[in-house]
Every structure is written in C-alpha cells, then in structure tokens.
C-alpha cells in the first residue's frame, strides 16, 4: 500500500511576486494576522516571528557507483521555550531553508494548540529519494543525522517522519545516534518501528486526527457523515488514512490523487483497489473512474476537501472556485493567506493544518513519553487519549473563532499567546 506522498512536486502556486509563494513569508503573515487579532505584545511578537536557530549542512554521500555526491540539508528550531524542539524531516527536491523555517514555526503553534510540551522544529534534505537505492538512502540518512547531531537529542530536539520519510528512516537515525552514545537512544526520534520503541497508533495518528476534526466539523455544521462526500489530494500516509477512516465513518470518498493526477468516481472510490492498482501499475485507478487533474480535484463539488500533499495548493487564483463546505488541511500550509480570506468570506469551514494534522505530533509525544518511561501503552489507550486531546483542541479553537469572529486558523494561533507566555517567563534568565 502506498504510504508516502510522492516525491514529484504537486503543481502549486506560481505568483509573479515570489514573496507571495514563499512559505516563510506566508507563515510570518499568518503570524502577524494572529498576533494582531489576539492582541499580542509587539515586543513578544518580534521574538516569535523569527526562528531561533538554523543549521545548514552540506555533506558527502557514497553512492552505489562508488562516486561521492554532495547533498544539502537543514534543521531549524523556531522556538524551544515550551520544551524540546519537535518536528519532522522531509526529503524532497524542492526543499528550501524558507520552507523549513515556515514548517518549524507551524510546529510551534501546532504543539501549543494541542497543549503538548514542545517547541517547533523541522528538517529537510534536498533530494528526490525515488532516485536513490535503499543503500544510498541509508547512507544519506546516517550522514545527515550525524551532521545535525549537534542539535538533536531526547531532551533537545526530536525528529519524526514527514514528506517522503518513514519508520525505516527513523530507525537509521536512531541507530546512528545510538552507535555514538554506546547505548540505545529510542527517545531521540519518533515514528519508529514498533519493535525498537515506536508507538502503537503512530502511523495512522495524523490521518486519525484529520478524521476526528472533520467529523467534529460536520457535526458543527449539522451534516451527517452519510451525507458527506470527500476528495483527497495526495493519497500518501496522511491522505490515505484520512480517506479510509472517513469512509469507515460513513462518508463517501469520490476522488483521490497522487502527483500524477486524480481518480474520480461520483459513486465512490474503492480506496484499497485504487491504491493497489498504483502499486502494481504506477497509477491510481479503479474499474470505472474518470482521470482528472489535481487542480480539478480541488474544485470538485464535495462536502469535504482534504489537501494532504504540499504547500500553496489553494491560492487566490483558485480559492473562489473551491466548492467544498469543509477544507481539512492534512498537509502543512496548503492554503495561502489570500485564499484563507476568500474561503472565509465564502463561508468555507477551514480546519487549519496546525489543528487538523496535529494528531501526528500528539502521538509522537506519546511515543517519546513511553520511550522515556520504558512503559508502553496499548492501541486503545493511545487512540482514546488522542481523541480526547484532538476534541478538546477543536472545541477550544471553534469557541475562540466564534466568539472573536475570526478564522479558525487565527483562532488556532491562540497557541501564540501560550508560546509568548512561556517565552516571557523564560526571558528573565536570558537576554532576548
Ligand atoms: N511531520 C509531522 C507534522 O508535520 C509530525 C511531526 C512530529 O511527529 O514530530 O506534524
């Protein structure tokens, strides 16, 4: 079963002004909107709108043909006042330092939204992993881990999977750190295989959180799951799990896509058949389905749209044509601030990334706690605790959004004051 978002880039947003499409500029603009709406002290805002640390590493990797190839990677800490830095590692040819900075900042707000004691981080390597052999991927992962080891550690910075990285890559990262420590250090990464300290429920956690928040949004809007149709852009781990769990709750999934395009059938998609076809023949298909583009998928007349691929998919060029009642952001940063306003004015209910996809980091937190305590919980406990946290976060964000008449994204940034409060307590012993 395909469990990864494809490495080939989704066709995103190309604006004349590159700042408009720059994820870091977008993250800062979202922050400014939230800081203003939530009345954040301007001094504190000036601290929180920047990243604390940015490490750029260029390192050699031994390839199978015995040549050495150089790769560039990043690890960024946005803020560490609420706890160790936390966030995934992405392998993608389009990775940039500005993208990693934005993703690190979003991790800070995400952890604050669900109330877990972490700051925000992110990492990435500029690489198309589909072009590497397994051996080359392992060499690259181990060398990158070694290069960023000056930052990572169970009480400092804990990486996890993100686009095109998975449990095996986390295992190589953990082993690289453990080799040098001289003992096993499971709590240095999350999203590991179960046998070496991974957690039950972690692979599905992000999609489960998306499903839970979507069901809560449907309830809020008075729509029964049985009456809801769903389109999912990007049927990797997050998109696939969200689609599968929503179908289990009675929703009808009518379109799914990968980077090559979408498979659409208004009578419903047989998810497992479609994904199996992709494994066998490299293309999402089922017996009766229409092939449409990713852009067309976004504009389908569905109840729920789940962008679960990359950034900047819903922008001012297409936001007006979005027909979904609910947009559940499985991906990080799929909607630009201009599109946010258009969707808000149209009455589209957006479940922002920092809330919708926070299930992943929440179960990462459970995994870290279990590793540190060397005491493991069963899947039922994990899912129950996850649901409690996600529902509390959803209710809190919805309440602020309704009370203050602000977008769900801006309301979710109430994590900004939480981070600011910690930062201001901590500032007494630090020079800001
Ligand atoms: N990469 C995931 C995210 O963007 C998970 C991060 C984590 O578990 O640390 O939320």
Maximum Cα–Cα distance for the chain, whole Å?
Answer: 65
DSSP class of 153: B
Give me the phi and psi of 281, to 5 degrees please: -120, 5
Which of 361, 362, 366, 368 for a ligand 1 pocket mutation test, highest count of atoms within 8 Å of Cβ? 361
Do the beta carbons of residue 339 and residue 329 sit within 8 Å? no
Percentage of residues in the chain having pLDDT higher than 70: 91
Q: Which domains does the chain have, with CATH numbers?
A: 1-16+201-374+381-413 (3.40.50.720), 51-196 (3.40.50.10860)
DSSP class of 246: H
Dist. CA 412–CA 402, nearest whole Å: 12
Residue 16 has pLDDT above 90, yes or no: no
DSSP class of 247: H
- Residue 425 pLDDT: 65
Dist. CA 397–CA 342, nearest whole Å: 20
**Whole-structure pTM value:** 0.93
86 lines ligand 1 (CB under 6 A): yes
Residue 420 has pLDDT above 80, yes or no: no
Neighbour count for residue 102 (Cβ, 10 Å):
26
pLDDT tens column, 253-294: 999 999 889 999 999 999 998 888 888 877 887 777 899 999
pLDDT tens column, 209-266: 999 999 999 999 999 999 999 999 999 899 999 999 999 999 999 999 998 899 999 9
| Residues designated catalytic | 122
* Spacing, Cα 182 to ligand 1 middle (Å): 27
- Residue 270 pLDDT: 92
pLDDT tens column, 100-140: 999 999 999 999 999 999 999 999 999 999 999 999 999 99
Nearest C-alpha neighbor of 324 from the set 348, 356, 357: 348
Dist. CA 363–CA 82, nearest whole Å: 17
354 lines ligand 1 (CB under 6 A): no
Nearest C-alpha neighbor of 338 from the set 10, 7, 20: 20
- Residue 38 pLDDT: 85
Do the beta carbons of residue 125 and residue 142 sit within 8 Å? no
Do the beta carbons of residue 170 and residue 141 sit within 8 Å? no
Q: Computed from CA positions of residues 305, 310, 312, 317, in that sequence, does the dihedral angle turn out positive or negative?
A: negative
DSSP 4-24: S--SSPPP----SSHHHH-HH
DSSP class of 39: T
Residue 415 has pLDDT above 80, yes or no: no
- Residue 3 pLDDT: 38
Lowest mean pLDDT among 31-35, 168-172, 417-421: 417-421
Atom of ligand 1 nearest to the CA of 162: 1
How big, in percent rounded to 5, are the helix, strand and coil portions of the chain?
A: 50, 15, 35
- Residue corresponding to tokens 């630090």: 430
| E strand spans, 194-353 | 229-233, 252-258, 261-264, 290-292, 304-307, 326-328, 349-351
DSSP class of 255: E
Q: Helices 415-426 and 97-113 sit at what angle, rounded to 10 degrees?
A: 90
Residue 17 has pLDDT above 60, yes or no: no
- Residue 7 pLDDT: 35
357 lines ligand 1 (CB under 6 A): yes
Q: What is the rounded average pLDDT of the residues 11-23? A: 58
């Amino acid at each position: 079963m395909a469990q990864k978002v494809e490495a080939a880039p989704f066709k995103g947003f190309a604006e004349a002004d590159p700042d408009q499409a720059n994820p870091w500029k977008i993250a800062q603009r979202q922050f400014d909107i939230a800081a203003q709406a939530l009345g954040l002290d301007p001094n504190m805002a000036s601290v929180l709108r920047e990243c604390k640390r940015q490490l750029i590493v260029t390192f050699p990797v031994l390839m199978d043909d015995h040549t050495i190839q150089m790769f560039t990677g990043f690890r960024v800490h946005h803020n560490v006042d609420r706890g160790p830095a936390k966030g995934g590692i992405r392998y993608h040819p389009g990775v940039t330092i500005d993208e990693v900075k934005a993703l690190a900042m979003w991790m800070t707000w995400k952890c604050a939204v669900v109330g877990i004691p972490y700051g925000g981080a992110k990492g990435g390597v500029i690489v198309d992993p589909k072009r590497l052999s397994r051996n080359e991927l392992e060499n690259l992962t181990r060398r990158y881990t070694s290069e960023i080891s000056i930052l990572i550690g169970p009480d400092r910075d804990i990486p996890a999977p993100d686009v095109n990285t998975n449990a095996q890559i986390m295992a190589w990262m953990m082993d690289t750190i453990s080799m040098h420590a001289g003992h096993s250090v499971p709590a240095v990464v999350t999203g590991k295989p179960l046998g070496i300290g991974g957690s039950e429920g972690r692979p599905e956690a992000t999609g489960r959180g998306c499903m839970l928040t979507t069901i809560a949004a449907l309830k809020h809007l008075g729509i029964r799951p049985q009456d809801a149709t769903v389109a999912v852009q990007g049927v990797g781990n997050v998109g696939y799990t969200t689609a599968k769990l929503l179908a289990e709750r009675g929703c009808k999934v009518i379109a799914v896509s990968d980077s090559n395009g979408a498979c659409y059938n208004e009578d419903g998609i047989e998810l497992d058949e479609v994904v199996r076809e992709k494994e066998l023949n490299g293309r999402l298909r089922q017996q009766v389905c229409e092939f449409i583009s990713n852009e067309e998928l976004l504009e389908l007349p569905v109840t729920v749209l789940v962008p679960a691929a990359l950034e900047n998919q819903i922008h001012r060029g297409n936001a007006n044509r979005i027909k979904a009642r609910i947009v559940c952001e499985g991906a990080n940063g799929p909607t630009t601030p201009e599109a946010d306003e258009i969707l808000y004015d149209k009455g589209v209910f957006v479940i922002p990334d920092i809330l919708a996809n926070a299930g992943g980091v929440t179960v990462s937190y459970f995994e870290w706690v279990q590793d540190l305590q060397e005491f493991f919980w069963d899947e039922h406990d994990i899912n129950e605790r996850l649901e409690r946290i996600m529902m509390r976060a959803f209710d809190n964000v919805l309440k602020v959004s309704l009370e203050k008449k602000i977008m769900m994204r801006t309301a979710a940034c109430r994590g900004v004051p939480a981070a600011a409060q910690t930062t201001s307590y901590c500032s007494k012993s630090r020079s800001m």
